[in-house]
Amino acid sequence: MADSSLHMPGSSAPAVENTVDDTSPPLVELRGITKLYGSLAANNDVHLTIRSGDIHALLGENGAGKSTLVKILYGVVEPSAGEIFWQGEKTVISSPVEARNLGIGMVFQHFSLFDELTVAENIAVALSGDWSLTRVREEAKTIGETYGLTLDPDRGVWSLSAGERQRIEIVRCLLQKPNLLILDEPTSVLTPQESERLFETLNRLSAEGCAILYISHRLDEVRRLCRTATIMRAGEVVRTIDPRRSSSREIAAMMVGADIGEVRFTAAADNTREKLVVSHLFFRSEETHARALNNISFTVHAGEVFGIAGIAGNGQTELFDVLSGEQPTSPGAVIISGMPVGDRGIDERRKMHAAFVPEERLGHAAAPSHTLSENTLVSRKDDDMVRTGFVVFRLARRLARRVVSAFDVRVSDKDPEARTLSGGNLQKYIVGREIIAKPELLVVNQPTWGVDAGAARLIRQSLVDLSREGSAVVAISQDMDELFEISDRIAVLREGSLCPPRPTGAWTKESIGLEMLGQGGEGVSP
């Protein structure tokens, strides 16, 4: 077992450093939790203590074992060994229903909502017991007003922002009066203003005695919000600290076992070559509730990173689909290297040295049941790897190994299936597969979604380096810290319209947040 700072009854682990007052009895204790998948230990002898009223962060790289641990705590996964104590009593949590009955609620990173149902109906379908829609409406309204989570119970979910959707998840947890609330990447789709409201809610819940287990890659907010942080690496607890007494960089180093460093960012070259021109783009998808794009215009030059900010659901997916050629539009609406390509597909655009990384890793960017070498063919089938209709797998495997090496992709064997990689490692592979081809234009949607600090730093540096080598990079991201770190210019996408881009230094997080909410006063692209 790795060196642990947790002190558990009956354990020889060292004492916790700089944590909250430990005189109150534990709400929940995990003792010696181990989960084996064959010979792989996703969790290895994990000890964790959470006390009532504590806001406790669970940190670690992708693949560190966080997801497995909270799934065990929430009854989704059964441990191979170890014990769980709830309020001092040994217990077995064999399902989410049993977890909720104990008083454990969980808000997952990816919302489990039905777009066609109303707010009240979405809350009702997740509740145990006899709940009428009238009672759901009344109690949801009361909780919303009490905790600043106001919702219209009769609105259709399809019409709500990401922040409002998250409120539904939290409200339906609170209706069950939890003693422990687990939140997985809760601010990943929120504006700064929405994040502030969430923090106020969590602090109020904490003051009332509700414990909160908080999973996030955003270390600045962890340092601000949490009083205790347990850090995992390779399935083991390596340290428990008070995050307020360490810098984000120090915490990141504890997570990966080495100094992360910062993205090296140099000024963009003075280059007037237009690699991508989007001109008066109008687009309406045939999919139900898809966002229409309204008169979008912008230009991206060689040598720059152009960032597009926005809350989820404001047209990012639709814009990516049009830029990549997955959805056709009028020829002159999209111009790559001087050539109108709006009506051309993705293969033709790739032949013009353009590359694309979609948001969805499994199923869109990579085929889950295919190996990494087979997945190189998703975007590289016109290279020498395909000759006279036959795949030269020797070359495909060679390229896969190059990507794995260059982008530090952690793999379990020489050529694993895509679905066996953690989210962060698969993202590194997908981005690396495109960058290693040195495209003249790269469009990437959510470059580091759900990715740990180390992987995020590598991906971001690679995007900046590619631009400085003369390529044009379009980064569509909901992570404002990311956009400020890598972008030369930033524009905000809201309700399918794009505001005029500004140099990154002309923005603040507050002004971008207001622009996302429609309060920026800058208008949209002409």
Of 221, 256, 291, the residue that ends a domain is: 256
404 is a domain residue: yes
- pTM exceeds 0.85: no
Residue 446 and residue 420 in one domain:
no
111 is a domain residue: no
C-alpha span between 467 and 268 (Å, rounded): 8
HEC per residue, 33-46: EEEEECCEEEEEEE
Q: Find the DSSP H helices in 93-174.
A: 96-102, 119-124, 133-147, 162-174
Helix (H) / strand (E) containing 467: helix 453-468
Torsion of CA 475, 424, 110, 96, to 10 degrees: -170
Residue 345 and residue 399 in one domain:
no
Residue 433 and residue 444 in one domain:
no
pLDDT confidence of 382, banded at 50, 70, 90?
low
Of 256, 285, 318, the residue that ends a domain is: 256
Q: What are phi and psi of 94, to 5 degrees?
A: -100, 0
**What is the domain count for the chain?**
3
pLDDT confidence of 311, banded at 50, 70, 90?
confident
322 is a domain residue: yes
Task: Say if strands 55-60 and 211-215 run parallel, antiparallel, or are unpaired.
Answer: parallel
User: Is the pLDDT reported for residue 500 higher than 70?
Assistant: yes
Residue 77 and residue 206 in one domain:
yes
- Top-confidence residue, 519 or 281: 281
Compute the residue count for the chain. Answer: 526
Instruction: Give the tens place of pLDDT for each residue, 69-99.
Output: 999 999 999 999 999 999 999 999 999 989 9
Which structural domain range is residue 310 located in? 273-353+439-526
Residue 453 and residue 382 in one domain:
no
> What pLDDT is recorded for position 303?
94
CA distances from 475 to 102, 306, 488, 491, 508 (A): 43, 6, 11, 11, 18
Q: What are phi and psi of 297, to 5 degrees?
A: -140, 130
Across residues 209-216, what is the average pLDDT?
A: 94
- Averaged pLDDT of the chain: 86
Residue 96 and residue 230 in one domain:
yes
